[in-house]
Amino acid sequence: MTNHHLDCVPSNLHGAFAPGRAPILTVDPGDRVTASVLDAGWHLLEQARPLTYDSMVQLAQRPTEALAGHCLIGPIAVRGAKAGQVLEVRIDDVVPGTWGWGAAGGWDTPLNTALKLGMGAEEARFIWEIDREIGRARNQHGDAVSIRPFPGVIGMPPPDPGFHSTIPPRRWGGNLDCRELIPGSRLFLPIPVDECLLSLGDGHAAQGDGELSGIAVECGLERLSVTLHVHDMALDMPRAETPAGRITFGVADTLDEAAAIAVDGMLRWMGELWGLPRARALALASLCVDLRVTQAVNGVVGCHALLVEDRVEIAR
C-alpha cells in the first residue's frame, strides 16, 4: 500500500463531474489518499476572526465551471479499474476545520416553499466555531450541536460526455449526504468509467438525516483519508458497511421511488448474505431494517435502508 497526499490548491479542485477530466493523481488498488479540501462553497480554510456569515472569504481562483457546484478535490484515477466493476472507498479519517457555516430559508426549494420559507421569506444565517477536542460546534447565538464529521460527496462522473452538476446524487455516488459515512465505513459504488475518476469533498461537521434546510454545518476538511479497492461484483446502486450497520441507497425523483430502490437493494443483500427468498427477507427487514430519508433537498431525493444485524438472528 502506498500513501498519497493531495494539497488543497486550485489546480487540484473542481466543481463539476466530467468523464473527460484528466486525473490529478493515479493510484493502485489498495492505496490510501489523504487530502484537505475547502467547504462546498469554496471558502478558505483559514478565516480572520471575528468571522461573520457575510465576511467569509472564498477562493479567488475558482474555475468557471464551479460557479454552481461543490468544491471537490480530484479526480483520482485507480489504475486498472474498469467500468462495470465496483469501487470500495474505505473512510479512514475525517478531521473538520475549525469553523463552519449554515443557513435556512430565503431560497426556493420544494420543501422551503411548503414551509413558507422560500425566496423573500425569513432567513437564518449561522457561523459555527468547531471545537474538535470536545466534539461540539457553537454558533453566534450560543446554540451548540455535537459534531460527527463526514464527506457529503464521494463519487464518480456519469459516463456521458460533458460537465455534470455535483448537486444531485447518482447511482455512482456523488452528493449522497449520508451522515453514517464516518470513519470506519466502507462505501461500495458501481464504476461508471474506466479508472473511476473519484472526487471527494463537501465536508459536514454535523447533519441530520434529510439535511432539511439543504445546508449542514458546512466546513472544510483539514484531513480526509480514504483507502481505495476495486472488486468484481454485481452492483447497480451504492451500498455501505458502516459502524451503524449495513446500508443500501436509493435515489429518485420521489421519496416513494427512492425508498423502493433502497429496500430492493437491502433485500438483495440479505439474499446474498443469508440465502433468504425475497418475501422472508422483507418480513425480517420490517423488524430489523430502518428506512431513513438521506436527503430531500438536492433536486432528486434519497433514502437509505439501514440493517442493524444485532437485532436479528438468521437460522441456518
φ/ψ bin of 197: left (φ > 0), alpha (ψ from -120 to 50), beta (otherwise): left
Superfamily of domain 244-311, CATH level 4: Acetamidase/Formamidase-like domains (3.10.28.20)
Q: Is it true that 3-44+63-97+144-231 and 244-311 share their CATH fold? A: no
Nearest one of 36, 49, 60, 7 to 221, comparing CA atoms: 36
Helix (H) or strand (E) holding 67: none
Residue 117 has pLDDT above 90, yes or no: no
65 band by pLDDT with thresholds 50, 70 and 90: confident
What is the model's pTM? 0.96
SS3 75: strand
Rounded Cα–Cα distance for residues 101 and 214 (Å): 12
56 band by pLDDT with thresholds 50, 70 and 90: very high
CATH architecture of 3-44+63-97+144-231: Sandwich (2.60)
Report, as an integer, the average pLDDT of 107-130: 89
Cell of 90: 474505505
Hey, where are the domains in the chain? 3-44+63-97+144-231, 244-311
**How does DSSP classify residue 56?**
P
Helix (H) or strand (E) holding 198: strand 198-204
Residue 21 has pLDDT above 80, yes or no: yes
Exposure string (b/e) for 5-37, b if CB count within 10 Å is 16 or more? ebebeeebbbbbbbbebebbbebebebbbebbb
Q: What is the pLDDT of residue 232?
A: 97
273-311 per-position pLDDT tens digit: 999 999 999 999 999 999 999 998 888 999 999 999 899
Nearest one of 41, 76, 72, 71 to 56, comparing CA atoms: 41
Rounded Cα–Cα distance for residues 140 and 127 (Å): 6
- C-alpha dist (Å) from residue 132 to 66, 94, 129, 136, 295: 29, 11, 10, 7, 25
Cell of 84: 462495470
CB 7 within 8 A of CB 36: yes
133-192 per-position pLDDT tens digit: 999 999 999 999 999 999 999 999 999 999 999 999 999 999 999 999 999 999 999 999
CB 196 within 8 A of CB 156: yes
